[in-house]
Amino acid sequence: MKEFQLIEQFFRDKGQKRRDVHLGIGDDCALVQPAENKSIAISCDTLVENIHFLPSMPAHELGYKSVAVNLSDLAAMGADPAWMTLALTLPDVDNDWLQQFSEGLFEAAEYYSVSLIGGDTTRGPRSINITIHGQVPTGKALTRGGAKIGDWIYVTGTLGDSALGLDILLGKQDVDPQFKEFLINRHYHPTPRILAGQALRSLATSAIDLSDGLNSDIAHILKASNVGAVIDVNELPLSTSLVGSVGPEQAINYALTGGEDYELLFTVPEAQRGALDTALIHAGVKFVKIGQICAGDKLRLVSNGEPFELDLKSFEHF
């Protein structure tokens, strides 16, 4: 199958049809019409086989996750999803694999109202590169650089499940069957917190999505905001499946360093805490307070008021 046949069969004229897409796949460039008084949020993410996903990962789940991890970046900025491009590198043309991959990709894209507007295909080691575009009201985008001393630190969802799911797939952990499906699904199917990000536009002072592990990702907020933080490890949101599989101490380690949770970590001033409760409840998102921004430039972990230390190794790209 030739390149253009591949595009025509699996990607062109599929998925979400948005009115703001004036010209999609099939020309040298796509043409889109941004809304008035909106800034364009753009993020790019690459998934490489044997680095970011296992060769055994089902194609449908890979297609879904490829979109979801990019959407999580938009959520962290409070942006509304809009358009994406796909650069797909494959060692060969496998029709069954492509069919499943495209179905998973468009399942996520349609759910979050994203149109595929272009991209590229080429031969080589399997990798997926998606550039995603969203829109956010001008001046309302969340960033990493606004946290202030005294702000409270929150996270959505639960942490550590995805990392344990990966360890199960790698054969590093053997868990009770009642927990296994949930944990693997959390690795394959992250939930980008789009509604939460939108709700936080006028409430949060900073935000980031948790892709490399809480311990690593919060450091980006501290550096950008020139502040420090204290986190109580006893407040970390841990699922029953995680704690039931590895016990509380190892569960905390997974939550701090595991990565690929794609939950939101954000800071909120005391004056906005009441409004936060209302906003995120309406968004249908569970969230918990885990610490506070303080003076300095370091992250301190505590348990019952005492320093807490673990062997912290978050994911690094190089």
- For residue 202, give the CATH number of its domain: 3.90.650.10
**62 with 101: CB under 8 angstroms?**
yes
Can you name the residues that pair with 121 across neighbouring β-strands? 88
Is 318 a domain residue?
no
Please tell me whether residues 111 and 179 are part of one structural domain.
Answer: no
Confidence of residue 59 (pLDDT cuts 50, 70, 90): very high
Is 211 a domain residue?
yes
217 labeled part of a ligand binding site: no
- CATH number where 112 lies: 3.30.1330.10
Residue 312: Cβ-neighbour burial (10 angstroms; 0-12, 13-18, 19+): middle
Residue 171: Cβ-neighbour burial (10 angstroms; 0-12, 13-18, 19+): exposed
- How confident is the model at residue 237, as a pLDDT? 98
> How many domains, in total, are found in the chain?
2
Is 145 a domain residue?
no
167 labeled part of a ligand binding site: no
20 labeled part of a ligand binding site: no
Is 147 a domain residue?
no
Please tell me whether residues 113 and 156 are part of one structural domain.
Answer: no
Please tell me whether residues 188 and 99 are part of one structural domain.
Answer: no
Last residue of a domain, one of 137, 167, 186: 137
Please tell me whether residues 36 and 106 are part of one structural domain.
Answer: yes
The alpha carbon of residue 318 and the mean position of all alpha carbons in its chain are separated, in whole angstroms, by 20
Tens of pLDDT, residue by residue over 169-208, are 999 999 999 999 999 999 999 999 999 999 999 999 999 9
- How confident is the model at residue 314, as a pLDDT? 47
Q: Report, as an integer, the average pLDDT of 275-297.
A: 94
13 labeled part of a ligand binding site: no
260 labeled part of a ligand binding site: yes
Residue 82: Cβ-neighbour burial (10 angstroms; 0-12, 13-18, 19+): buried
- Identity of the amino acid at 247: G
Range name among 28-42, 73-87, 233-247, 291-305 with the lowest pLDDT average: 28-42
Please tell me whether residues 69 and 171 are part of one structural domain.
Answer: no
Please tell me whether residues 125 and 175 are part of one structural domain.
Answer: no
d(CA 205, CA 292): 13
Last residue of a domain, one of 89, 113, 137: 137
Q: Report, as an integer, the average pLDDT of 148-162.
A: 98
Tens of pLDDT, residue by residue over 217-227, are 999 999 999 99
- How confident is the model at residue 124, as a pLDDT? 95
317 labeled part of a ligand binding site: no
Please tell me whether residues 125 and 156 are part of one structural domain.
Answer: no
Q: How high does pLDDT run on average in the chain?
A: 92
52 labeled part of a ligand binding site: yes
Please tell me whether residues 176 and 300 are part of one structural domain.
Answer: yes
311 labeled part of a ligand binding site: no
45 labeled part of a ligand binding site: yes
Please tell me whether residues 74 and 115 are part of one structural domain.
Answer: yes
Last residue of a domain, one of 108, 137, 166: 137
* CB half-sphere exposure, 28, CA atoms < 13 A: 0
**Closest among 139, 110, 40 to 80, alpha carbons compared:** 40
Is 218 a domain residue?
yes
Is 311 a domain residue?
no
Please tell me whether residues 158 and 82 are part of one structural domain.
Answer: no
Range name among 3-7, 120-124, 135-139 with the lowest pLDDT average: 3-7
Is 310 a domain residue?
no
Can you name the residues that pair with 6 across neighbouring β-strands? none
113 labeled part of a ligand binding site: no
Boundaries of domain holding 26: 3-137
Please tell me whether residues 169 and 287 are part of one structural domain.
Answer: yes
Please tell me whether residues 16 and 72 are part of one structural domain.
Answer: yes
d(CA 261, CA 198): 19
Is 314 a domain residue?
no
73 labeled part of a ligand binding site: yes
Handedness of CA 218, 47, 183, 10 (dihedral sign): positive
Return the beta strands (E) in 93-175 as ranges: 115-123, 127-137, 152-156
